[in-house]
Every structure is written in C-alpha cells, then in structure tokens.
C-alpha cells in the first residue's frame, strides 16, 4: 500500500495538477492522516486545493465553511463541471436548489459540501449531516473566529461547538491574513490536537506597493486625478478600485467614465442582477467588457480574476490585514501588479470616530481595543519610511527576506511612479491615454542591445525581473549619459541604478559612438 505522501502525489496528478505550491503537500498529507491543521497562505496561494483534494479522495463527507459566497460558487461550479461529486448550500439560494443540495448530502451523493456559516448551524443542514460520517471540516477565512482578528464574525464562534456535535472530525482552518497571535487563537478556539501549522509565507514578490498621503485643500481632487492618471496607462488595467461608501463608488465611477475609462460601480445597493452582470463583464474582460470595477470592500471576496494589474484604495482600510487581503487580488497570475493606497488624512479621523462609538459599551470592549490596535497599525504603515514590503511582512511575523520581481515600493524607489500629488491637481492629465515611449528607427539597434543585455542580466529568471520593455524603450529613446539622467526614466529606481547603471550606461555610450 503506498505511503500517504505517494497517495497525495497521485491524487494531485489525478485532479489535473502538475506540481505543488509551497505548503500544499504537507497540508494534504495531514488531512489524509486525520491530523488537524492550521493553514496560513497568502491570497492566491492555493488554500482551496488543500481541502478539495482529500475531500474528493474520501468516501466520507468534507464540509467547507466559508462566508465568501462568490468563492464557494466559483469552486463548486468548476468542480461540478469536471464531474466531481460536490454540492453547495448558502444563504440566498432558492428553496428548490437548497432542498436538492440537502438531499445530495443526505444520500451520500456529495463528497464535498460548501456551506455558509449560518446554514451550517441550521437544523435542516444538521439533520442531513446526521446521515453521514464527516471526515474533514475545512474552515475558510478562519481568522473570523478570533475576537482580536480584523474581521471577527460572531457566527464563527459557534463552529467549534457544532464540530463537537458532529463527532469532532479533523479540522483544517485556512486563512490568508492571520498574524501569529490570531493564528494561535484560532487553534485554541477549535481545540486543535497537535495541529500541523503551515505558514507558506506572506510575500507576494510580483506586487509593488505605493502609499500617497494626501492632506489639505484640494486633496480629494488630487486623489481623483492620481487615480485617473494611473488608470489611463493600459499597463495598470484591469483594475479594482476600492471606495469606502456606495456613494463614493458612484461618484468615482462617473468621473472615470467622463475621462474615457471603461468603469462600472459595484456595491450592495445595486440589484443582484446588476451586480452579477457587472462582475461577469469584469471577469470576462476583453473588448466590450470592463477594464475597471469601482467597488466597496465586499467585491473580490473569493473572486478569482488572475490578471488584475492594479488595485487602488481611495479610502484607508480599517486594518493592515484588510489592506493586504484586498491588495492581494492583484497579480494572481504571477505577473507584476501594483497596489496603490491614496491616503487622505481625513480618513484617519473617520476611523477614530467610528471606533469611539464603541467606547463605554462593555459588550464592545474587545472590539474597541481591537479597533485601536488596527488604527495604529494602518496609520504606522502609511507614514512608515521603511520598505513597504518589509513593513507588511513584519506585521504578519514573516521574517523571510522579501525579494521583489521588479519594483518593490515607493519608499525603495525613492520617487514613486505616480505624478507629484502636490501638482497633479493643477496639471491634470489629458483625456487621451498616455502613450508608450516612442521608439524611432535610429533607436531600434540600441533597444535590441538592451534586450540582449537584459537576457544575460536575468540569469535564467523572467526578463521583466530586470526591466520591462517599456523601460528599455524609454532608455533607448532618452540615451541617458549619467546615473542622474538614467534615474529620471520611468521604471528606473535606486535598486536598478545600484545593480545595473554601469552596464546600461556603457551600452548606451557604446551605441552612441557607433552611431557617430
């Protein structure tokens, strides 16, 4: 009989995957062996495979509890389309569909059932479960059980008690945003027995981070102008723009559309059919569909669009965890993407006022303290002069050395890639999309030499980790004579200067000599 590791490898191949992501194999082996586990992986890190694979391999039932209806529906539809025995029951389902799902659980037809927290506690669902042996309880967004977490949900507090009523199956708690302290509380809440702890690392090396503090008269107009300037560049689309209120989403959308940017709003005040249509157009992409979606923070929870090139925050998130989770929806295809926080000082006052409303209420004492911790953490992140990536990794207790694929952040870059926020409101961008640098016929040989150099400098890594084509085109067109002129080119930062300036300047100088 094959050992558990070999069985896990076989199941991975049988499900159509060619390789494991970090931490997945260990998590699957733990589930197959009946061991509790706490899985902390970044957004897009592959948490779903950790419970899908053992769930499909078992004759008994796997329950996946998640508050993310869109995520569950997406996974359910994909597995169902592949002929896998899965079902789903969640709030908002039609009565007939819910009854069918319960029958699939009761009869043994389903091996995996996706379930929202409130449905998990319902009498009808518990009755259906009484007919099955439950092998695995996978709890997604497990940080929601922690009263000190950024997204505490009272419904989650009932999950450990219900798990005991079900015979205490193996528990797999999954999250993308748990600090070390929150992860410890999650394990305690579920009374995990010698759990395997997988922390695959929080670093997203393909993401670059920009924070632009804005204050004073005209800061709102500058914020909107910065957004427009960024989104006019096709390299920053598709994009998600997060706003704090429904009204803000509508106003920002209208302004972007007036600027010729294909944008639509998405918020809870819209009819469900409208939201579905907007989401579908954004997910589909391509000509005639949406480049930009402007939404409240409900959008994107579990929506897997791989090619989002930039994520913008038009208001300060309530916590670093919320910020990183939302920023992490960019670049899930592994290619470079940007996260931009346009931080108005007035938003900090809003967070203070909101948290002070909890003051004095004994039942909200923990929420009040949690709010203050979150406030100081996000404020510290905005005004921190350290590397943004390093600050984020430190917040989550990840000591790995963050190694960006291309550009790290505005702090490390020393100048940022956005226009000066103090002048952009006066010098607003034109309505036409910003063109790429022009490459004349005389510049083409230099461009080809730079491409050949980039290939050597990449040393087997993707070429864009050294410089993208846009940057090389700009260098070929500008023909910088020294480091100062090279640094003035978009896409060139201090790290590039330190590593590559002598070689690049020598190539430019050599080409100029040849041209003479």
Residue pointed to by tokens 């303290």: 369
Cis peptide before 19 (omega within 30 of 0): no
Q: Which residues contact 34 (CB under 8 A, 6 or more apart)?
A: 170
Domain encompassing residue 257? 207-413
Q: Do 42 and 99 fall within a single domain?
A: yes
**What pLDDT is attached to residue 360?**
66
* Three state DSSP letters for 399-468: CCCCCCCCCCEHHHHCCCCCCCCCCCCCCCCCCCCCCCCCCCHHHHHHHHHHHHHHHHHHCCCCHHHCCC
Residue 421 inside a domain? The answer is: no
Pick the closest to residue 47 from 142, 145, 162 (CA basis): 142
What is the C-alpha separation between 5 and 453, in angstroms, rounded? Answer: 43
Quote the tokens at residue 422. 């103090």
Q: Do 339 and 482 fall within a single domain?
A: no
* Three state DSSP letters for 142-175: HHHHCCCCCCCCHHHHHHHHHHHHCCCCEEEEEE
Secondary structure element (H or E) that encloses residue 266, with its range? strand 263-266
What is the C-alpha separation between 245 and 316, in angstroms, rounded? Answer: 12
What is the C-alpha separation between 56 and 49, in angstroms, rounded? Answer: 10
Orientation of helix 365-383 relative to helix 345-356, angle to 10° = 170
How many domains are contained in the chain? 3
Residue 221 inside a domain? The answer is: yes
Query: In which order are the strands placed within the sheet that holds 263-266?
Result: 207-214, 337-344, 310-313, 239-242, 292-295, 263-266
Residue 426 inside a domain? The answer is: no
Q: Do 72 and 43 fall within a single domain?
A: yes
Q: Do 194 and 237 fall within a single domain?
A: no
**What pLDDT is attached to residue 428?**
39
* Radius of gyration, CA atoms only, the chain: 25
Confidence label for 145 from pLDDT (cuts 50, 70 and 90): confident
Cα 215 to chain centroid, rounded: 27
**What pLDDT is attached to residue 25?**
94
Residue 259 has pLDDT above 70, yes or no: yes
What is the C-alpha separation between 203 and 339, in angstroms, rounded? Answer: 14
Q: Do 449 and 382 fall within a single domain?
A: no
Average pLDDT, the chain: 84
Quote the tokens at residue 82. 């592949």
Asked if 57 and 11 touch (Cβ cutoff 8 Å), the reply is yes
Residue 436 inside a domain? The answer is: no
**What pLDDT is attached to residue 2?**
62
Strand pairing class (263-266; 292-295): parallel
Q: Which CATH number goes with the domain that contains 477?
A: 1.10.150.80
Residue 422 inside a domain? The answer is: no
**What pLDDT is attached to residue 370?**
76
Asked if 159 and 191 touch (Cβ cutoff 8 Å), the reply is no
**What pLDDT is attached to residue 178?**
76
What is the C-alpha separation between 11 and 14, in angstroms, rounded? Answer: 5
Pick the closest to residue 331 from 491, 175, 209, 204 (CA basis): 204
Residue 435 has pLDDT above 50, yes or no: no
Triad 307, 312, 315: Cα angle to 5°: 150
Percentage of the chain surpassing pLDDT 90? 34
Q: Looking only at Cα atoms, what is the longest distance across the chain? A: 85
Q: Do 152 and 234 fall within a single domain?
A: no
Q: Do 457 and 384 fall within a single domain?
A: no
Question: b/e per residue, 306-338, with b = 16+ CB within 10 A?
Answer: eebbbbbbbbbbbbbbbbbbbbbbbbbeeebbb
Of 181, 199, 217, the last residue of a domain is 199
Of 199, 219, 251, the last residue of a domain is 199
Q: Do 161 and 40 fall within a single domain?
A: yes
Q: Considering only residues 359 and 447, tell me which one the structure prediction assigns the higher pLDDT.
A: 447
Give the pLDDT confidence of 367-422 residue by residue, as tens digits: 677 778 888 899 999 988 888 998 898 888 887 665 565 678 888 876 555 555 55
Residue 424 has pLDDT above 70, yes or no: no
Backbone phi, then psi, for 488, in 5-degree steps?
-75, -10
What is the C-alpha separation between 339 and 330, in angstroms, rounded? Answer: 7
Q: Do 324 and 401 fall within a single domain?
A: yes
Residue 68 inside a domain? The answer is: yes
Secondary structure element (H or E) that encloses residue 129, with its range? helix 123-129
What is the C-alpha separation between 253 and 117, in angstroms, rounded? Answer: 33
Q: Considering only residues 462 and 459, tell me which one the structure prediction assigns the higher pLDDT.
A: 459
Q: Considering only residues 429 and 220, tell me which one the structure prediction assigns the higher pLDDT.
A: 220
Secondary structure element (H or E) that encloses residue 256, with its range? helix 246-258
Asked if 87 and 104 touch (Cβ cutoff 8 Å), the reply is yes
Quote the tokens at residue 385. 């002069």
Q: Which CATH number goes with the domain that contains 217?
A: 3.40.50.300
Confidence label for 92 from pLDDT (cuts 50, 70 and 90): confident
Residue 428 inside a domain? The answer is: no
**What pLDDT is attached to residue 137?**
96
Q: Do 144 and 9 fall within a single domain?
A: yes
Triad 315, 316, 318: Cα angle to 5°: 125
Q: Do 184 and 241 fall within a single domain?
A: no
Give the pLDDT confidence of 192-238 residue by residue, as tens digits: 988 999 987 788 889 999 999 988 888 888 899 999 999 999 999 99
Of 168, 199, 230, the last residue of a domain is 199
Quote the tokens at residue 161. 């008690």
What is the C-alpha separation between 443 and 192, in angstroms, rounded? Answer: 64
How far does the chain reach from its first CA to its final CA, in angstroms? Answer: 74
Cα 83 to chain centroid, rounded: 29
What is the C-alpha separation between 171 and 30, in angstroms, rounded? Answer: 10
Give the pLDDT confidence of 8-53 residue by residue, as tens digits: 998 888 888 888 988 999 999 999 999 999 999 877 778 899 999 9
Q: Which residues contact 210 (CB under 8 A, 6 or more apart)?
A: 338, 339, 340, 341, 388, 409, 410, 416, 417, 418
Residue 368 inside a domain? The answer is: yes
Asked if 400 and 199 touch (Cβ cutoff 8 Å), the reply is no
Residue 432 has pLDDT above 60, yes or no: no
Q: Do 86 and 127 fall within a single domain?
A: yes
């Amino acid at each position: 009989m094959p050992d558990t590791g070999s069985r896990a490898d076989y199941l991975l191949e049988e499900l159509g995957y060619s390789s494991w992501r970090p931490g997945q194999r260990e998590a699957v082996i733990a589930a197959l062996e009946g061991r509790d586990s706490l899985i902390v992986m970044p957004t897009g890190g592959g948490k779903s495979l950790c419970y899908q694979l053992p769930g499909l391999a078992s004759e008994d039932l796997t329950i996946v509890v998640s508050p993310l209806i869109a995520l569950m529906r997406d996974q359910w539809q994909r597995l169902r389309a592949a002929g896998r025995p899965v079902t789903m029951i969640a709030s908002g389902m039609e009565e007939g569909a819910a009854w069918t799902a319960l029958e699939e659980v009761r009869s043994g037809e389903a091996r995996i059932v996706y379930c929202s927290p409130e449905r998990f506690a319902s009498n009808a669902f518990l009755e259906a479960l009484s007919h099955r042996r439950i092998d695995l309880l996978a709890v997604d967004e497990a940080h929601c059980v922690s009263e000190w977490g950024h997204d505490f949900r009272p419904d989650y507090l009932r999950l450990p008690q219900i798990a005991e009523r079900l015979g205490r199956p193996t528990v797999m708690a999954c999250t993308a945003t748990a600090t070390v302290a929150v992860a410890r509380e999650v394990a305690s809440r579920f009374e995990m027995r010698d759990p395997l702890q997988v922390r695959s690392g929080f670093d997203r090396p393909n993401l670059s981070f920009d924070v632009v503090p804005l204050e004073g008269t005209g800061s709102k107009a500058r914020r909107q102008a910065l957004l427009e300037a960024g989104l006019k560049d096709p390299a920053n689309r598709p994009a998600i723009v997060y706003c704090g209120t429904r009204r803000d989403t509508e106003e920002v959308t209208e302004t972007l559309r007036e600027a010729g940017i294909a944008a639509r709003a998405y918020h809870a005040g819209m009819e469900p059919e409208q939201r579905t249509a907007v989401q579908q157009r954004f997910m589909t992409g391509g000509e005639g569909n949406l480049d930009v979606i402007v939404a409240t923070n409900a959008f994107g929870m579990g929506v897997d669009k791989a090619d989002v090139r930039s994520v913008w925050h038009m208001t300060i998130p309530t916590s670093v965890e919320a910020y990183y989770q939302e920023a992490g929806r960019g670049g899930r295809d592994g290619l470079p993407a940007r996260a931009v926080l346009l931080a108005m000082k007035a938003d900090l006052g809003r967070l203070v006022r909101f948290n002070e409303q909890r003051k004095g209420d004994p039942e909200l004492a923990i929420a009040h303290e949690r709010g203050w911790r979150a406030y100081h953490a996000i404020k510290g992140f905005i005004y921190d002069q350290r590397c943004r990536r390093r600050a984020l990794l430190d917040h989550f207790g990840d000591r790995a050395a963050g190694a960006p694929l291309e550009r790290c952040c505005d702090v490390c870059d020393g100048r940022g890639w956005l226009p000066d926020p103090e002048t952009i409101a006066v010098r607003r961008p034109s309505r036409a999309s910003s063109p790429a640098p022009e490459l004349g016929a005389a510049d083409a040989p230099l461009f080809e030499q730079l491409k050949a150099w980039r290939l050597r400098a990449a040393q087997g890594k993707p070429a864009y980790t050294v410089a993208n084509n846009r940057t090389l085109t700009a260098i070929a067109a500008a023909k910088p004579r020294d480091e100062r002129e090279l640094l003035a080119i978009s896409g060139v930062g201090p790290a590039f200067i330190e590593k590559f300036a002598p070689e690049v300047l020598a190539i430019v100088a050599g080409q100029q000599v040849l041209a003479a």
